[in-house]
Amino acid sequence: MTQHFLLSSYARSLSLKAIFREGEDAAYKTFCRLRWPENDGEPVCPRCGHYEAYSISSRRKFKCKECHHQFSVTSGTIFASRKLEFTDLLAANCLFVNAAKGLSALQLSRDLAVQYKTAFVLAHKIREALENETANLKLSGDVEIDGAHFCGYVRPANWKKNRKDRRRWCNKSPNRRVIVAFRQRGGRTRTFVTKTEPEGVDLVIKHLNPKTIIHADEGPWWDRLEGRHETYRVNHQECYSNDGINTNLVESFFARVRRMVKGQHHQVSPKYLHLYAAHASWVEDHRRERNGDLADLVIERTMRSPVSRNWKAYWQGAATRAF
């Protein structure tokens, strides 16, 4: 029997042992290489774009020869004003991509020997960078769409006489949210967080190309799309797949999110749900790639993402209004 890709040695191209064995200098060069790939890791001034700079080796900083601006490899990125060493940042990325069903902040804090607050913000900065990867992407071709409910669990009362019908809308939690997912067959996945699943109809119109072929379930709100897109429907009360018409890929994505929330995080806030959904969609889209390549992709994405206005000085209350 053919060996599964994830079980092969080819899939394991990066390890924590190798990161800490090679040391801080090697980790620093990795960040430089992925920050400035067009210049073979040599610094490029973020202010004026000049390609020549003095190296201030005592502080791992550079000084532009043109405008004399001082900067570091993480200046202007989502890791700006970092306090962790580069080996710790590289190890955090390795742990992040190795966790197929997500990584809790508590586990990350123990693995890196840092405070929970540090691990919590670091993980969410990475998720925000991954979310930016598909922020302006419009899907096309065959796209499966669906929605699933998360957050807002209502615990039943102790006595049966005091229990309410939790299926009724008036008895649901105000924190209840819906992840609306669009998954292109052979392509990428886009996620959105709404309060109701019918809100996904407007998202389809806005974020999918007009000639997209849509596969959806029997939800009546998707009827509005049949005049705009070529639409195929499958009734899950009768079958899960009807001659190739199914939403199995998007259902597989929801299964990953549920395992991530229940198995790793146990409970997530609705205001952060979009970040967990973006993380799960990124893992789902890159599940057949080597972990070393994935770590490089994550670092490259964080180096391209600007300073986070949501997570900068988060624990001082400076960014909580952004969500």
Domain-embedded: residue 66: no
Domain-embedded: residue 235: yes
Q: Let me know: does 176 contact 149? Beta carbons within 8 Å.
A: yes
Same domain, 229 and 146: yes
According to the model, what pLDDT value does residue 170 have?
79
Domain-embedded: residue 52: no
Same domain, 172 and 208: yes
According to the model, what pLDDT value does residue 1 have?
59
According to the model, what pLDDT value does residue 4 have?
84
In angstroms, rounded to a whole number, what is the distance separating the alpha carbons of residues 52 and 280?
A: 40
Cβ neighbours of residue 57 closer than 8 Å, sequence gap 6 or more? none
The CATH number for 237's domain is 3.30.420.10
Q: Let me know: does 133 contact 301? Beta carbons within 8 Å.
A: yes
Same domain, 278 and 170: yes
Same domain, 92 and 148: no
3-state class percentages of the chain: helix first, strand second, coil last, to nearest 5: 45, 15, 40
Read off the DSSP letter of residue 299. Answer: H
Domain-embedded: residue 100: yes
pLDDT in tens, the chain (323 residues): 578 888 888 889 999 999 999 999 999 999 999 999 999 999 999 999 999 999 998 889 999 999 999 999 999 999 998 999 999 999 999 999 999 899 999 999 999 999 999 999 999 999 999 999 998 899 999 999 999 999 988 888 899 889 888 778 778 888 899 999 999 999 999 999 999 999 999 999 999 999 999 999 999 999 999 889 999 999 999 999 999 899 999 999 999 999 999 999 998 999 999 999 999 999 999 999 999 999 999 999 999 999 998 898 888 876 655 55
- Give the count of domains, the chain: 2
According to the model, what pLDDT value does residue 57 have?
82
Same domain, 95 and 193: no
In angstroms, rounded to a whole number, what is the distance separating the alpha carbons of residues 16 and 94?
A: 7
Domain-embedded: residue 1: no
Domain-embedded: residue 225: yes
Domain-embedded: residue 96: yes
Which residues span the domain enclosing 120?
Answer: 8-42+74-132+308-322
According to the model, what pLDDT value does residue 200 have?
95
Structure tokens at 27: 């980790």
Same domain, 35 and 123: yes
Same domain, 85 and 159: no
- 233 backbone dihedrals φ, ψ, rounded to 5°: -120, 145
Same domain, 173 and 270: yes
Same domain, 230 and 317: no
Q: Which residues on adjacent β-strands are paired with residue 54?
A: 63
Same domain, 208 and 83: no
Q: Which ranges of 167-272 does DSSP label H, i.e. alpha helix?
A: 200-207, 248-259
Domain-embedded: residue 146: yes
Same domain, 111 and 197: no
Same domain, 126 and 172: no
What is the pTM (predicted TM-score) of this model? Answer: 0.91
